[in-house]
């Protein structure tokens, strides 16, 4: 076995041995609970500083995992998606643009732009309450026009996710900083 395999096995073992107490989320009166490795990955992968004040760190980490790794929300909701010269499609390392992270503005045709998922002035992701967010993810109905179905967003896939997973995504979005869109011509730039 090569040394890289030992490092990989060691890293996976470290992730699996992490507990909620190690991450500062455990109740000191309870026994530590093994932490979901997706939480660790989500917290490490978040491309912006997170506001974890009065937040459940594990829930935010899991939400980051879903938003950033499993769902790729950033491709349609960040304009541009990557830092200058960082797009993996042109040989870059894939570093996300923190300045425009989930701020919306990605054009789809001439009359449609992806909305912001970043918190608004009230701290609501995309201006949506928890209930509105859950409704959008379950039904695909535009919260500003309930008679309109969101055609580009893959809500038909998100609707089968567990409530806990969608709520984790919402809590992650509440923990990111506000942002403003830049300029791009399409998703994934």
Digit-coded pLDDT (tens) for 155-171:
999 999 999 999 999 99
Taking the model in full, what pTM does it have?
0.80
Residue 131 lies in a domain: yes
* Residue 12 in this model has a pLDDT that exceeds 90: no
8 Å CB contact between 107 and 186: yes
Residue 92 lies in a domain: yes
Residue 180 lies in a domain: no
Domain count for the chain, please give it.
1
Q: Supply the pLDDT for residue 32.
A: 57
Peptide bond into 80 cis (omega under 30): yes
Q: Supply the pLDDT for residue 30.
A: 53
- 68-97 per-position pLDDT tens digit: 988 889 999 999 999 999 999 899 999 999
Mean pLDDT of 40-49: 94
Domain span including residue 68: 34-175
Residue 95 lies in a domain: yes
8 Å CB contact between 121 and 180: no
Q: Supply the pLDDT for residue 1.
A: 45
**Cα-atom radius of gyration of the chain, to the nearest Å?**
18
Query: How many CA atoms, within 13 angstroms, populate the side-chain half-sphere of residue 168?
Result: 24
8 Å CB contact between 110 and 168: no
Residue 9 lies in a domain: no
Residue 187: pLDDT band (50, 70, 90) is confident
């Amino acid at each position: 076995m090569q040394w890289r395999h030992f490092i990989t096995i060691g890293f996976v073992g470290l992730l699996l041995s992490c507990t909620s107490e190690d991450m500062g989320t455990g109740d000191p009166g309870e026994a530590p609970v093994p932490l979901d490795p997706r939480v660790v990955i989500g917290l490490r992968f978040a491309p912006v500083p997170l506001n974890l004040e009065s937040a459940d760190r594990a829930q935010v980490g899991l939400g980051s995992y879903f938003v950033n790794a499993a769902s790729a929300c950033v491709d349609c909701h960040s304009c541009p998606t990557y830092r200058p010269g960082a797009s993996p499609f042109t040989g870059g390392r894939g570093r996300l643009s923190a300045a425009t992270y989930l701020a919306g503005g990605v054009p789809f045709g001439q009359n449609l732009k992806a909305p912001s998922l970043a918190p608004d002035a009230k701290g609501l992701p995309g201006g949506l309450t928890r209930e509105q967010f859950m409704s959008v993810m379950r039904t695909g109905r535009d919260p500003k026009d309930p008679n309109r179905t969101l055609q580009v967003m893959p809500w038909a896939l998100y609707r089968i996710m567990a409530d806990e997973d969608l709520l984790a995504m919402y809590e992650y979005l509440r923990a990111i900083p506000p942002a403003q869109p830049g300029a791009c011509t399409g998703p994934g730039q």
